[in-house]
Structure 1
């Protein structure tokens, strides 16, 4: 199998950083919810954090398996000054939408470089991003239904706490 091009290797390293940054941001979001005594929302964010770490490690392992060089970059300090549950989930959706764009760009780069192995590997990430955006949108939809009703928010908090690790709201 041919060695990765420098361009693909750099892009994979950038995506590893993006996934690590996502994990760090989800950890910050979880800390916001812990501080608000919303342990169900915190648990949901911790699950997302674990998924982002898994994504980074999948890319890390792939890069190593292809003979690439890992180049870990600094992770930016995450935002912690949220004002509401809704604002946290709006931020999570924006992150996932940006991550989808980055994955799609990386997939297009692999296609352009005729790197079929990387393209095949990235297909899982393309599919995963559909799920990632949907589960955040599902929670946002439930927050819309709850509105300003604190009792409904507490019910949603309990539902999120009871969810299995497979995702979905």
Structure 2
């Protein structure tokens, strides 16, 4: 008896996203190694944690496909991009990567809606929310570096930024959670 409750197209799309998340993990791991090599251990630690979070996202997709009776397919993962040439390029690339991932998530939501696959549509809402956080987090990296002086920042400013990111949380407060007492 076939117990798969995903269309073949949806199963493939979810598997593709699983692989995209694995590639993201490798990309952020690569950026973390680059930052570590440059002496930015706090930024590296932040990127390493982010790499693990992306891997966890891939596992969520894998488990969902399996739970719906499908079989996710692990594809070859492309090599991560070349090392960035600066912190600005690194943080800009993190942001661009998150925006690209958001686009992929939205396409899955659209497919679920088109197929009237309400279980997958519901599953994807977690990722829609997550991408709001991911894009905000990436934008915050860019903003913090700009405040520090960008690529012309003093060593003291970069040291402070590096230390701040070492212990920074991996998530951000969301606007819809704000109240008058907690803006």
Give the TM-score of the pair, scaled to structure 1. 0.95
Distance between the aligned counterparts of 2:167 and 2:73, measured in 1? 38
Q: CA-to-partner distance for each residue in 1:100-155, whole Å, 9 max, x for gaps?
A: 00000001000100000000000000000000000010010011111122211110
Cα distance in 2 for partners of 1:53, 1:2 equals 24
Give the structure 2 partner of residue 163 of structure 1.
168
Task: Indicate conservation of the 8 Å contact 1:96/1:129, yes or no.
Answer: yes
Out of 70, 73, 83, which is 1:71 matched to?
73
2:25 aligned residue: 23
Q: Does 1:39 align with 2:41?
A: yes
Q: TM-score, normalization: structure 2?
A: 0.88
5+ unaligned residues in a row in structure 1: which ranges?
Answer: none
Aligned length: 168
Q: CA deviation at 1:81?
A: 2.6
Equivalent residue number for residue 179 of structure 2: none
State the 1:3 CA deviation: 1.4
The alpha carbon displacement at 1:168 in A equals 4.2
User: Who wins on radius of gyration, i.e. which is larger?
Assistant: 2
Moved more, 143-152 or 110-119: 143-152
1:89 aligned residue (70, 88, 91): 91
For 1:34 and 1:80, locate their aligned partners in 2 and report how far apart those are by CA, in whole Å: 15
1:56-67 map, 5 Å: 56-67=58-69
